[in-house]
Amino acid sequence: EAQVTQNPRYLITVTGKKLTVTCSQNMNHEYMSWYRQDPGLGLRQIYYSMNVEVTDKGDVPEGYKVSRKEKRNFPLILESPSPNQTSLYFCASSLRSRTSRLSGELFFGEGSRLTVL
């Protein structure tokens, strides 16, 4: 089954304790992205990756890191979480077209609800 898998789905942690949210897709997609969703603000892009070893900042990258060592995995790292990073996080992936334009459907993981105390 084609899917994007995120872990953990729920996490409560404390300020400053490093954590990683994993994301894996089995569709051989080049494009992967992380979003956070907060009430009234919609989905905001944190980081994205156009392919292996190619990552770039989205709209709200502060406090986050990512890596893309393999095509299928795109982990999100919070080196020193703070309460303002309490949010619902989504990983998504998409196929790039031959023209290198992103025109395809974005597939989302089920989301990771993070609470930082």
* Calpha distance 20→74 (Å, rounded): 10
> Residue 8 or 14: which CB sits closer to other proteins?
8
11 binds other proteins (CB under 8 A): no
- Min CB(68)–other proteins separation in Å: 15
> Residue 50 or 52: which CB sits closer to other proteins?
50
Structure tokens at 75: 């982990």
Query: Which positions touch other proteins (CB under 8 A)?
Result: 33, 35, 40-43, 45, 48, 50, 56, 58, 88, 90, 94, 100-106, 108-111, 113
